[in-house]
A and B are shown apart, each in its own frame.
Chain A
Amino acid sequence: MKKRRIVLQIVFSLLPVLLVLAVFRVYPIAVAVIKSFTNWDGLYRSDFIGLRNYVSFIQSGLFWMVLRNTLILLANVPLQVFAGLVVALLLYEKVKGWRVYRAVIYIPQIISAVIIGFLFKIFFGFNGPFNAVLRAVGLGRLAIEWFGNSYTALGVVIFAVVWFSIGWQAIVILGGMSAIPTSVFEAAVLDGASYWQRAFKIVVPMLVRVLEFCIIASGVWTLTQLFPFLYAMTRGGPGFETSTLDYMVYLKSFGLGFGSDYGMATAIAVLLLLLVLAFTLIEMRVANRADDWS
């Protein structure tokens, strides 16, 4: 009787959360997966077409281009985590003016991503300030159309995203560092460990779980949340040269012309979901191994 009561208690305690998850997570994902096998136009047409959306997208050549772009943009993850770690290490030592630095480094996070995108678009425009400086110092040959080709445009996007994210990374890492007992540092100092030894032999190994969170969060964010940067800076172009999988979901739904191909858009969204899951699994495995080493 008591056992049954406990079971009921567990069930009723979990039920609200399970219901919320079912309604707001499981149901939309299930519908998206089902719709990805149809030619849904967002209106009345929704015929089952099997794997045609997946096959035609993968065969179109567009898939490989947007997958390449997505993977290139993932390069921002180690860059922003490393930059955030360096900033956190510098600020952890409470250098002179550290309070100001902590506030300043976080400022990009409170600016709208669209505004940041437009600022970078202007800054790196063909006739923008960056090229003007290059021309002024006699490096006119380097004053190229930064958004005119895939690699340089993606490079500018990565630069913008890293600049935007350093503050967030630094604050999260600082939070993790504050959980390290000060006695560990005091002992290291007494043992004669240098600043860099303390940083990379003590702090970094003890931050593996925090760094894992930073990498997964920023990786998933890169895979799914870069839309405002891309929309403001390149609109996925020229052509589709800077489009990513998540941007392609938007284009196929609303952005290409006056029509929409929701069936295809949901198929791309499902591919993106698989990529996110794969990225997370790989990262967790690597982090587990790193934790074992430490």
Chain B
Amino acid sequence: MSRTYLLVTFLLLAAFGLAFAGGGQEAQKEAVKLTVWIHGADSFIGPNEQQKPQGEWYIAQAFQRFEQANPGVSVELVVPPDQTASHQNFNTAVLAGNAPDVANLWTGQPIYTRKDVIMPIDDLVPAADLKGIWGWESVRYNFDPKGTLLGYPAGQNQICFMMYNKAIVKKAGLDFEAAPPKTIKDFDAALAKIKASGKTPILVDEAAQGVPWFMAWVADYWWAQLTGNAQIIEQDAGKKKFADDKGLLAMLAYYRSLYTNGYFRPDLSTSNDSFSQFLQGNGAIWPAVPSFLADAEKTLGADVGVLLPPEFDASSKIRNSTIGGPGQSLVMPKNGKNPKVAVKLMSFLNSKAEYLESQKVNTYPTVRTDVTIQELGWKPASNIAKLGKVANTYNFWVDNLLRSPGPADVFYPQGALVAVGKMTPLQFAQEMDKSVPK
């Protein structure tokens, strides 16, 4: 009797134990809720998507697919209203203990300078991802190939280019498809012809949102070509002087000449409507990244062309390239509660299947190494296919090499002053030297 009693008691306890264990697991699964900050532009959300209900956005649908593939996990999407401010907000959120599980921040210095609040993910990233993605240097501390891995590059490879209006260019007697300007000399000659035709050659807003866009997207390629990213990093660290950087000074002098020759719009230091002016056919060229291509093609149709920056120095090691690479990253706070699930989500968003899925909504080159143009269905002569060809030969964002507080705090707000002549190239370089943190 007592043996039966003991057996029944044991079985009941075991059943309760298993039930509680199972229930505990279930409860744990239900408890996994990821909060994810995604920037409203230049990353997983396209320019037109925010006009639609959130459920129709690519990223919202991707989160739903992730939830379906991982029962018990839910993902909350948060779109910070200001990309620049979201970096500071991330800091304060980590300190307050309410940071998102995954945050979308810029690559390079913007995350290196936050390494104290970011959780390294070296041990969590699948080896297949390390092989299948370009651009890990942008999220490895100090651009060191062996540096601590601070996050994933976001899946978009934002290749910088100059968007141009074929009709305006043709009217000026030029054909950038057949004979694109290859050198600065060619470029100047082309711009002179466009100006003579009565149109503004280059529409730019060099202070809108506090960023000199032409300088960051186009002219920085010339700086990188003349100086090289490695030296720029040394200058940013105070090991060399920006004022001694002949490449920087030459780039800035040319940038200034584009203004004095009347090739830029005259009010570039205060304007903020260049893209809409471009879409209205009021100018020939607009510096761009792929996220704007679909809108331009929808408005101007076949008149939209893409042009890579001409070579400043034909003998440079860097040629037939442009500024680009993953400008955005996905990182985790150092006090994140669900690191494994968070990295799983980052990996999921960077997977080949998801990249192909995202292309149904937004078109941009990827950082994946295993996607072919055929798989994407891009027509070989299309603008996006032309950008795709340079997707793995980009020169990493020069402005992301600069620290803030530091030279970035001169580069962004004062770049336009060089164009309009309120600052000489040397003064600009000296200010950058002064801003290097001691």
13 interchain pairs, CB-CB under 8 A? A42-B92, A43-B116, A145-B266, A148-B270, A148-B420, A234-B270, A237-B269, A256-B409, A257-B408, A257-B409, A258-B106, A259-B87, A264-B405
* Residue from the list A125, A126, A148, A257 in contact with B412, Cβ < 8 A: A257
Interfacial residues of chain A within 235-267, with CB under 8 A of chain B in the complex: 235-241, 251-261, 264
- The answer to whether A147 has its CB under 8 Å from any CB of chain B is yes
Size band of the interface chain A makes with B: 20 to 34
A146 CA / B426 CA spacing, docked (Å): 27
- The answer to whether B148 has its CB under 8 Å from any CB of chain A is no
A155 CA / B290 CA spacing, docked (Å): 39
* Residue from the list B116, B408, B422 in contact with A259, Cβ < 8 A: B408
Q: Specify which chain B residues have a CB less than 8 angstroms from the CB of A145 in the assembled complex.
A: 266-267, 269-270
- Nearest CB of A to B73, in Å: 30
In the bound complex, do residue B403 and residue A259 qualify as a contact, i.e. CB atoms below 8 Å apart? yes
In the bound complex, do residue A254 and residue B88 qualify as a contact, i.e. CB atoms below 8 Å apart? yes
In the bound complex, do residue A261 and residue B417 qualify as a contact, i.e. CB atoms below 8 Å apart? no
Give the residue name and chain of the A residue nearest to B435 (CB): A60
- The answer to whether A44 has its CB under 8 Å from any CB of chain B is yes
Give the residue name and chain of the A residue nearest to B418 (CB): A239
In the bound complex, do residue B270 and residue A125 qualify as a contact, i.e. CB atoms below 8 Å apart? yes
A235 CA / B267 CA spacing, docked (Å): 15
Q: Specify which chain B residues have a CB less than 8 angstroms from the CB of A255 in the assembled complex.
A: 84, 210
Interfacial residues of chain B within 374-421, with CB under 8 A of chain A in the complex: 403-406, 408-409, 412-414, 416-417, 420
A60 CA / B85 CA spacing, docked (Å): 25
Q: Specify which chain B residues have a CB less than 8 angstroms from the CB of A260 in the assembled complex.
A: 88, 91, 404-405
- The answer to whether B193 has its CB under 8 Å from any CB of chain A is no
In the bound complex, do residue A259 and residue B434 qualify as a contact, i.e. CB atoms below 8 Å apart? no
In the bound complex, do residue A148 and residue B267 qualify as a contact, i.e. CB atoms below 8 Å apart? yes
* Residue from the list B210, B408, B409 in contact with A235, Cβ < 8 A: B210
Give the residue name and chain of the A residue nearest to B105 (CB): A258
- Nearest CB of B to A147, in Å: 4
In the bound complex, do residue A42 and residue B91 qualify as a contact, i.e. CB atoms below 8 Å apart? yes
Known interface pairs A126-B267, A239-B416. Does A259 touch B406 (Cβ–Cβ under 8 Å)?
Answer: yes
* Interface of A: prevailing SS: loop
Q: Specify which chain A residues have a CB less than 8 angstroms from the CB of B92 in the assembled complex.
A: 42
* Residue from the list A44, A234, A239, A258 in contact with B414, Cβ < 8 A: A239
Q: Specify which chain A residues have a CB less than 8 angstroms from the CB of B110 in the assembled complex.
A: 258-259
* Residue from the list B95, B267, B271, B413 in contact with A256, Cβ < 8 A: B413
Mark contacts of B324-360 with chain A using CB atoms, 8 A cut-off: 1 yes-contact digit, 0 otherwise: 0000000000000000000000000000000000000
Q: Specify which chain B residues have a CB less than 8 angstroms from the CB of A240 in the assembled complex.
A: 413-414
- The answer to whether B429 has its CB under 8 Å from any CB of chain A is no
A235-B207, A254-B84, A259-B404 known, 13 other contacts, Cβ within 8 Å:
A43-B95, A44-B116, A145-B267, A234-B270, A237-B416, A238-B416, A240-B413, A254-B88, A256-B210, A256-B413, A259-B403, A259-B408, A260-B88
- Nearest CB of B to A48, in Å: 15
In the bound complex, do residue A254 and residue B85 qualify as a contact, i.e. CB atoms below 8 Å apart? yes
Give the residue name and chain of the A residue nearest to B92 (CB): A42
A146 CA / B267 CA spacing, docked (Å): 10
Interfacial residues of chain A within 98-149, with CB under 8 A of chain B in the complex: 125-127, 145, 147-148
Q: Specify which chain A residues have a CB less than 8 angstroms from the CB of B420 in the assembled complex.
A: 148, 238
- The answer to whether B113 has its CB under 8 Å from any CB of chain A is yes
Q: Specify which chain A residues have a CB less than 8 angstroms from the CB of B117 in the assembled complex.
A: 43
- Nearest CB of A to B113, in Å: 6
In the bound complex, do residue B270 and residue A239 qualify as a contact, i.e. CB atoms below 8 Å apart? no
- The answer to whether B318 has its CB under 8 Å from any CB of chain A is no
- Nearest CB of A to B96, in Å: 12
- The answer to whether B423 has its CB under 8 Å from any CB of chain A is yes
A88 CA / B423 CA spacing, docked (Å): 46
A148 CA / B269 CA spacing, docked (Å): 7
* Residue from the list B88, B271, B416 in contact with A126, Cβ < 8 A: B271
In the bound complex, do residue A259 and residue B271 qualify as a contact, i.e. CB atoms below 8 Å apart? no
A238 CA / B89 CA spacing, docked (Å): 26
Interfacial residues of chain B within 159-176, with CB under 8 A of chain A in the complex: none
A147 CA / B268 CA spacing, docked (Å): 11
Give the residue name and chain of the B residue nearest to A260 (CB): B88
A126 CA / B271 CA spacing, docked (Å): 8
Q: Specify which chain A residues have a CB less than 8 angstroms from the CB of B116 in the assembled complex.
A: 43-44
In the bound complex, do residue B113 and residue A259 qualify as a contact, i.e. CB atoms below 8 Å apart? yes
The 7 closest A-B pairs by CB, nearest first: A257-B404, A259-B404, A126-B267, A258-B110, A258-B87, A257-B408, A256-B409
